[in-house]
A and B are shown apart, each in its own frame.
Chain A
Amino acid sequence: MPILPDSNLSKSNLPPLSLYIPEPPARPGEEVSFAHVDRGEPGAVRRPDSAETEKEMRDLPYKLIRVLDDDGNAVGPWNPMLGADTLIKGLRAMMLSRVFDDRLFRAHRQGKTSFYMKSTGEEAISAAQSLALDKGDMFFPTYRALAWLHARNYPLTTLCNQIFSNAEDPLAGKQLPILMSARDYDFYSISGNLGVRFAHAVGWGMASAYKGGRKISLGYVGDGTTADGDFHEAMTFAGVFKAPTILCITNNQWAISSFAGFAQAEQTPFAAKALAYGMPGLKVDGNDFLAVWGATQWAAERARTNNGPTLIEFYTYRAEGHSTSDDPTKYRPKDEASKWPLGDPVERLKDHLIGLGEWDEERHAALVEELKEKVRVAVKEAEKIGTLGQSKPPIDEMFEDVFEEMDWRLKEQKRELLHRRGLEGKKG
């Protein structure tokens, strides 16, 4: 159909329409601007009773819940009042996650694995939630949440085996590096496609409620994925059936090269999306271990007492590239991460512990060394089994678990492959 000239003369006194395309505040070479970030005041957001009705809590998503102030003091009603032992455990998990990320990112550059994704700057979120929730509560993670496993002491060598797809890979070489599954650690199988597992978290929570259980579920999406229809579907189900679920958006400001404005962050906080689905929404400083813990505890209490789901936006910053395949200096200022107004989660918890007199620089430095050594040993052990292409799981595994039992096609195809391998073996 031809496009007709605009001949609507009666509207000629209006300026012509113009298409709005969001743009981030700064591009490479430009000065970093976080003028749009409202840090609020630590301790200033009220903490209602967790059984409060959604209607009474509509102010919450618009303010940032923070516990740690700039001097490292824990202030306000969301302080979970954790003991020093727990805080050190959390600090250790975050530090381990970071050390592990650095080491395995290098392993990728050395050709030992095909792919890696760091969680740098976001460690507080899944580390705190891993420790705050109970054994048996199920976590539906994204690919940027390995701190959950580190907080629960998942064996590092096994994790490396998965990343190297070697003979002892717990997923038998079937899955991309770090798209883990660890049922014994309440860590649901990750897949490459985004958003779809948000509804699985809701369904899992509904099942727990249906069975009269006591377990709750925890689901993640990133800021970019909130644009996906799956987000809406899961939120609708969660709201309608009051699923005992904590649904989280880790808003790290970036979806690969697209800033959060492309998921509609310019007009309204992600947390406020909760209101349309009839559940409370919390916006939480994601770099504040105590605030993450406090908010999670509150939402968990709400879920466990049949008061339904909560949406939590964890406000944070993706300090490194999206993955080993990404170069963030191509689309954002090089020094943006260092200027993030909510700082670094590890440094902030460390300062808090030092302020409490429970930690010091020497112990911190010693722990860094200890964790580096631990990771070094784990990587070495996994390397001994084999890195990418040097060692593989048994070939039979390739045909297993498509179905509970192999059908005739898979049996035939397996026979064919084994036959060919046998012939090749003879030639060699």
Chain B
Amino acid sequence: MNMIQALNSALDVKMGQDEDVLVFGEDVGYFGGVFRVTEKLQEKHGLQRCFDAPLTEGGIIGAAIGMGAYGLRPVPEIQFADYILPAYDQLVSEAARLRYRSNGEFWAPITVRTPYGGGIFGGQTHSQSPEAIFAHVTGLKVVIPSNPYDAKGLLISSIECDDPVVFLEPKRLYNGPFYGRPDEELKTWANSDHVGADVPEGHYEVPLGRAAIVREGTEATVLAYGTMVHVAEAGILDSGVDAELIDLRSIVPLDIDAITASVRKTGRCIILHEASRYAGFGGELSALVQERCFDYLRAPIARVCGYDMPYPHAFEWDYFPGPVRLSEALKSAVEYR
């Protein structure tokens, strides 16, 4: 399965198991979604289980919260993460706080699926990576898969979770892995032997809050998620540094133990994300590593990120933090002092 089919399978499995799971959003019903993630779900599970919504992100999330309070498990879709901002108030002030402010009387077991990330010539409003603005919100979980197997397992876990989850799908990885080299011939998930390309048919879970060590290494730790996991693989090979690569998978909750253990072992840490650098999630990761691994660090923690500007169209590959930039950062880190 590619990532689209894996996500579709997760929705199909959960809809089959639990009639309280329903899916709605712009164009997700009859048409099956602009990225085909909800294809055939309406046909299979019925009009009321998977339906189109009016073009209002605030309304979609607001209604989902109300459904959640009733006892359903809605899985609303926001067509692009760039367009989730009209629903930000609903997510921050309501979904994230409902349980806390009602002292546990009401909660919002919703999973908001949304495609995110760049590398597709999406320009300013089809490329953004807004994970940091959700990570900062107490009460929200934030999940980001990097391969089809995780995508399905993490989505199932998110739907089953009673906390509100923002589920960011790297659309650059929908059809195949992407190593950050746009001139290279692209592989589909089917013809790649990449880890996670095999997806079982039925129900399985990938737990939230647990990172995956994609590659073991001794000289440095690279922290990445989403598309950047693959870019990191390429960058590490280019650099010749024996780096350990950790795919965080969920940034809230964060697998702090995996991160700490790795950096204490390697003594160096590079953080890689597409989102712009200033106040990005890399800042939090850097602070956590510094606090917990200070005595073990042999080089400054480095962040390889998007630049601090709106995502540009023509300059896509200058903006996108590709393997070359990671490779340079890794080499600098091992050569430090």
Contact = CB atoms under 8 A, between A and B. Distances in A.
Interface of A: 138, 140, 170-172, 174-175, 179, 181-183, 188-189, 191-193, 196-208, 210-211, 217, 229-230, 232-234, 236-237, 240, 397, 400-404, 407-409
A207 B107 contact: no
B59 A233 contact: yes
Interface string B45-82: 00010000110101100111111111110100000000
7 contacts: A181-B105, A199-B63, A199-B65, A203-B63, A204-B66, A210-B72, A229-B86
A172 B103 contact: yes
B98 interface: yes
Interface of B: 22, 48, 53-54, 56, 58-59, 62-72, 74, 86, 89-90, 93-94, 97-107, 138-139, 141, 161-163, 209, 252-253, 256
A229 B86 CA distance: 9
Nearest to B68: A203
Contact of B100 (A200, A208, A236, A402): A402
Nearest to B253: A407
Nearest to B51: A241
Nearest to A203: B66
B101 A171 contact: yes
A196 B89 contact: yes
A197 B69 CA distance: 11
A208 B72 CA distance: 10
B63 A189 contact: no
A188 B59 contact: no
Nearest to B163: A403
A175 B70 CA distance: 22
Contacts of B141: 403
A401 B58 contact: no
A237 to B, nearest CB: 5
A205 B66 CA distance: 8
A240 B161 CA distance: 29
Contact of B66 (A183, A202, A229): A202
Contact of A170 (B65, B99, B103): B103
B52 to A, nearest CB: 9
A218 to B, nearest CB: 12
Given A199-B90, A202-B62, A175 B101 contact: yes
Contacts of B138: 402
A200 B103 contact: no
A204 B105 contact: no
A230 B58 contact: yes
Given A207-B72, A208-B70, A210-B48, A237 B101 contact: no
Contact of B62 (A189, A230, A400): A230
B93 A233 contact: no
- 7 tightest A-B CB contacts, nearest first: A203-B66, A199-B62, A203-B63, A233-B59, A207-B70, A200-B66, A189-B102
Contacts of B56: 232-233, 236-237
